[in-house]
């Protein structure tokens, strides 16, 4: 055999080897791909970060280590926080499978708003030499965050994390969690990164020297037709990811309103008051009686386990297929399996009537309305008036009034949410469908994000029960006592209404002949109606 033919044979063998290995890589299941990998997670102590860790540990048990960036908070050191977190009920299934699972979690001290993310040089060295995939979940999700702080965390920290990622020698994918509402100033949202009128870098530079009062004044002009600094800075972060990605393989996940888990690790897992959860709880406690929302608008809720399954699958796909440009995944339900706020209201109310929350303020009975006037009327009659009476009662019994303060906070919260509950958006979800088509049958089951199978009434019921069990830590065995409390509240209401009626009678009706005539006329009309219906129902029997 000549030299040239042996060389071409060698090249051919190499090409075949390379093809085979890339084919094997493509054929590996998601959990096989995560085996032996070192994963870096920001925002691991948050709602989605915890579910992400749990799923990785449970469904990819051979993952090598989860490096999590954590800061000390509320008087707790970083390690105390991580220890507490691992005791959380969310990890029960993982704990059962592997009681030593905590050994795979390696906390790294970091404050994302500080230069260099405040990671020590030794930790930078460790991370740059071993991390294979990054999930960037950390963010401030408060809608009322001052622009400078939201920019610091949601944009500048993302920029710094990307520059750290550029130094990682074995990095295969960088997954950034954005939000489906980053571009909520548009009605139709494609899976693309939309340009912004302002260059993120220039904005960062200019805000650096401005004092807080100037920034406060120019914030409305900067955010333009977006409702808050959160959605604005998440849009800026997407642009930063696009501009600073360099040679990294990037995936961007855009979930809509992330709610309790649908199936995993158990139905109804939720641990915070954000978004709809706070509204459901306030309605279940009988505090919230009205909210501005459109009955017919699509409620684009997405279960947290669906978002996390898609995120892990996108991590695998990004690392294996290395798309040339960042792939954006709109992770929403509205276009695939729509459900509306009116239907949510119905199912939330019906669940809390059957499974009441403890020590409710009033019987649960909330109504949504899109009319400003009706809303203001109910705010006055059903929120402010009872709050005043209750505070008066507290004052008279020597206690500190508190109800009006609670209602003021509630009004602020629902005021910030109504932008999202009063209108519809249309998200394109081609990349989510494409990703689903790339999964093997087994992966489609283990990392299920097919929301066509979601049964909304059942999901909302589990969601409400989840808020009761996991957010409020209420025991299901106390439901009879909670029902008894609701009966007591009903009797108080009947008594109150009777007293009010007698009072109105004494003050207004008994004193005027005309009012008495009108009163007798209304009563006799009601009586005739009743007799008519009774007679017609007897005839039809
Ligand atoms: C039955 C009726 C059916 C109704 C159907 C209609 C439902 C509509 C729901 C629409 C949701 C739309 C969400 C849109 C999400 C966009 C998606 C995302 O990307 S991003 C993700 C979405 N991001 C968000 O959702 C963030 C929204 N949240 C915020 O921006 C702020 O928390 C704040 C401005 C509302 C209050 O600030 P501030 O006054 O400084 O007070 P703190 O923060 O310190 O909390 C004070 C207390 O209030 C508690 N609580 C908190 N939230 C709610 C709530 N929603 N509610 C009630 N309570 C709430 C909190 O736990 C605390 O209790 P405690 O510890 O004192 O006992
Ligand atoms: N929840 C939702 O409905 C939606 C969320 N998203 C996106 O998903 C991601 C996760 O959201 P979610 O889990 O709900 O949010 P959480 O508020 O529950 O978690 C936020 C995480 O970010 C961390 N963090 C915040 N500030 C800092 C800081 N200065 N330094 C270090 N860590 C910090 C928090 O840590 P700590 O515990 O120390 O505060 C926490 O771990 C976010 O990017 C959000 O924009 C998108 C759409 C909807």
Give the up-direction half-sphere exposure of residue 487: CA atoms within 13 A in the CB hemisphere: 6
> If you measure from the C-alpha of residue 403 to the centroid of ligand 2, how many angstroms do you get, rounded to a whole number?
30
- Compute the distance between CA of residue 153 and CA of residue 140 in angstroms, rounded to an integer: 7
pTM of the full structure: 0.90
Return the residue whose CA atom lies nearest to atom 47 of ligand 1.
Answer: 409
Predicted confidence at residue 539, as pLDDT, reads 62
Residue nearest to atom 65 of ligand 1 (CA): 273
CA 126, CA 427: separation in Å to the nearest integer? 39
Q: How far is CA 506 from CA 117, 222, 496, 501, 510, in A?
A: 70, 59, 15, 9, 5
Cα of 154 from ligand 1 centre, angstroms: 19
Run of H or E residues at 411: helix 403-421
How many Å apart are CA 332 and CA 258, to the nearest integer? Answer: 9
8 Å CB contact between 134 and 165: yes
138 lines ligand 2 (CB under 6 A): yes
Q: Which atom in ligand 1 lies closest to the alpha carbon of residue 282?
A: 57
pLDDT for residue 3: 44
First CA to last CA across the chain, in angstroms? 103
Q: How many residues does the chain have?
A: 541
Ligand 2 near 107 CB (within 6 A): no
Q: Which ligand is nearest to the CA of 416?
A: 1
Ligand 2 center from residue 196 Cα (angstroms): 23
CB 71 less than 6 A from any atom of ligand 2: yes
Taking alpha carbons only, the member of 191, 74, 45, 63 closest to residue 132 is: 63
Which one, of 55, 49, 89, 83, lies nearest residue 69 by Cα? 49
The three-point CA angle 366-367-369 to 5° equals 150
CA of 143 to the centre of ligand 2 (A): 12
Q: Is the CB of 417 under 6 A from ligand 1?
A: yes
429 within ligand 1 shell (Cβ under 6 A) = no
Of all protein residues, the one whose alpha carbon is nearest to atom 29 of ligand 2 is 112
Q: Check pocket membership of 111 for ligand 2, CB cut-off 6 A.
A: yes
Residue (of 181, 187, 185) closest to 238 by Cα position: 181
Q: What's the rounded Cα separation, in Å, for the pair 118 and 69?
A: 10
Burial class (CB in 10 A: 0-12, 13-18, 19+), 263: middle
SS3 content of the chain, % helix, strand, coil (to 5): 60, 10, 30
For ligand 2, is residue 49 a contact (CB within 6 Å)?
A: yes
Sign of the alpha-carbon torsion through 406, 408, 411, 415: negative
260 close to 304: Cβ distance less than 8 angstroms: yes
Tens-level pLDDT at each residue, the chain (541 residues): 344 444 444 444 444 444 444 544 556 899 999 999 999 999 999 999 999 999 999 999 999 999 999 999 999 999 999 999 999 999 999 999 999 999 999 999 999 999 999 999 999 999 999 999 999 999 999 999 999 999 999 999 999 999 999 999 999 999 999 999 999 999 999 999 999 999 999 999 999 889 999 999 999 999 999 999 999 999 999 999 999 999 999 999 999 999 999 999 999 999 999 999 999 999 999 999 999 999 999 999 999 999 999 999 999 999 999 999 999 999 999 999 999 999 999 999 999 999 999 999 999 999 999 999 999 999 999 999 999 999 999 999 999 999 999 999 999 999 999 999 999 999 999 999 999 999 999 999 999 999 999 999 999 999 999 999 999 999 999 999 999 999 999 999 899 888 988 888 778 777 788 878 888 888 899 889 888 877 776 666 5
Residue 367 phi/psi, 5-degree rounding, is -130, 140
Gap from CA of 157 to ligand 2 centroid (Å): 12
Q: How far apart are CA 20 and CA 14, in angstroms?
A: 10
Beta-bridge mates of residue 70: 109
Secondary structure class of 183 (helix, strand, coil)? coil
| 359 Cβ contact partners less than 8 Å away, ≥ 6 residues apart | 285, 482, 485
Strand 133-136, strand 188-189: pairing = unpaired
Answer yes or no: is the C-beta of 304 below 6 A from any ligand 1 atom: no
* Calpha distance 64→241 (Å, rounded): 27
Note whether 91 and 130 are within 8 A (CB): no
Whether 464 is in the pocket of ligand 1, judged by its Cβ within 6 Å, is no
- The DSSP output letter for 186 is S
- Compute the distance between CA of residue 313 and CA of residue 345 in angstroms, rounded to an integer: 33
Residue with CA at minimum distance from ligand 1 atom 2: 345
* CA 464 – CA 457 distance, rounded (Å): 11
Inter-CA distances, 13 with 50, 161, 243, 320, 404, Å: 45, 40, 39, 22, 77
Q: How far is the CA of 276 from the centre of ligand 1 (A)?
A: 7
Burial tier of 59 (Cβ tally within 10 Å: 0-12, 13-18, 19+): buried
Angle at 527 between CA 521 and CA 528, to 5 degrees: 90
User: Per DSSP, what are the bridge partners of residue 330?
Assistant: 254
Give me the half-sphere count of Cα atoms (radius 13 Å) on the Cβ side of residue 412.
8
- For helices 341-354 and 276-284, the axis angle rounded to 10 degrees is 40
pLDDT recorded at residue 374: 96
How far is the CA of 448 from the CAs of 171, 278, 311, 515, in angstroms?
26, 27, 11, 66
């Amino acid at each position: 055999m000549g030299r040239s033919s042996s060389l071409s044979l060698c090249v051919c063998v190499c090409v075949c080897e390379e093809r085979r290995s890339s084919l094997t890589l493509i054929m590996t299941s998601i959990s096989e791909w995560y085996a032996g990998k070192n994963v870096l997670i920001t925002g691991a102590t948050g709602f989605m970060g915890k579910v992400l860790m749990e799923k990785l540990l449970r469904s990819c048990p051979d993952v090598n280590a989860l490096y999590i960036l954590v800061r000390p908070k509320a008087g707790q050191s970083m390690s105390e926080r991580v220890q507490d977190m691992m005791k959380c009920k969310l990890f029960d299934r993982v704990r059962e499978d592997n009681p030593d699972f905590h050994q795979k979690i390696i906390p790294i001290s970091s404050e994302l708003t500080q230069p260099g993310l405040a990671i020590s040089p030794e930790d930078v060295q460790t991370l740059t030499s071993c991390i294979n995939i990054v999930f960037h979940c950390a963010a401030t999700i408060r809608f009322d965050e001052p622009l400078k702080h939201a920019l610091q965390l949601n944009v500048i920290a993302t920029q710094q994390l990307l520059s750290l990622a550029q130094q990682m020698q074995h990095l295969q994918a960088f997954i950034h969690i954005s939000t489906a509402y980053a571009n909520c100033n548009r009605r139709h949202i494609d899976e693309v990164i939309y340009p912004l009128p302002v260059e993120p870098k220039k904005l960062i530079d200019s805000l650096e020297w401005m004092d807080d009062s100037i920034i406060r004044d120019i914030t409305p002009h900067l955010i333009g037709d977006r409702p808050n600094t959160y959605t604005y800075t998440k849009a800026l972060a997407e642009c930063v990811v696009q501009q600073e990605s360099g040679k990294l393989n990037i995936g961007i996940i855009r979930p809509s309103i992330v709610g309790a888990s649908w199936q995993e690790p158990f139905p109804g897992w939720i641990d915070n008051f954000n978004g709809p959860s706070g509204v459901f709880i306030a309605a279940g406690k009988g505090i919230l009686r009205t909210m501005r929302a459109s009955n017919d608008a699509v409620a684009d809720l997405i279960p947290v386990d669906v978002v996390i399954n898609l995120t892990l699958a996108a991590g695998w796909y990004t690392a294996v297929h290395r798309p040339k440009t960042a792939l954006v995944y709109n992770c929403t339900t509205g276009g695939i399996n729509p459900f509306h706020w009116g239907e949510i209201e119905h199912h939330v109310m019906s669940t809390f009537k059957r499974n009441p929350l403890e020590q409710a303020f009033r019987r649960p009975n909330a109504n949504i309305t899109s009319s400003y006037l009706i809303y203001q009327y109910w705010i006055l009659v059903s929120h402010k008036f009872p709050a005043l009476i209750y505070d008066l009662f507290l004052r008279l019994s020597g206690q500190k009034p508190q109800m009006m303060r609670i209602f003021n906070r509630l009004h602020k919260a629902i005021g910030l949410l109504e932008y999202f509950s009063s209108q519809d958006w249309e998200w394109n979800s081609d990349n989510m469908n494409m990703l689903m088509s790339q999964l093997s049958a087994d992966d489609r089951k283990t990392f299920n994000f097919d929301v066509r199978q979601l049964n909304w009434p059942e999901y909302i019921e589990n969601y409400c029960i989840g808020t009761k069990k996991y957010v409020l830590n209420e025991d299901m065995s106390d439901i009879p006592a909670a029902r008894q409390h609701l009966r007591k509240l009903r009797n108080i209401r009947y008594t109150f209404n009777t007293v009010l009626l007698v009072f109105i009678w004494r003050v207004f009706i008994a004193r005027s002949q005309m009012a008495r005539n009108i009163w007798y006329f209304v009563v006799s009309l009601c009586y005739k109606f009743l007799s008519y219906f009774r007679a017609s129902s007897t005839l039809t029997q």
